[in-house]
Amino acid sequence: MYGIDFGTGGRVAMRATLAAIRVLRPLLPTRYRFIAPYQEWRRGSSGQVRAARRSAGIRPEETRSLRG
């Protein structure tokens, strides 16, 4: 698609990797399967936003709001 030639071995390795991801991703715990904003939305409470970010490995004190 982007004009990058991986060769036969590279294509086989890429297909095997993507197949493994498709099989294994549903088995991962939720905190690794979904990104932090989705986890926050699922919890539905702004009081739990900090805990969701912390559980996803995001330090709340280092994040900046887009609102200003």
Q: What is the pLDDT of residues 11-55, one digit of tens each?
A: 899 999 999 999 999 898 877 888 877 777 777 655 566 676 777
DSSP string, the chain: --S---HHHHHHHHHHHHHHHHHHGGGS-HHHHS-HHHHHHHH--GGGHHHHHHHTT--GGG---TT-
0.75 exceeded by the pTM?
A: no
The residue ranking higher by pLDDT, 15 or 1, is: 15
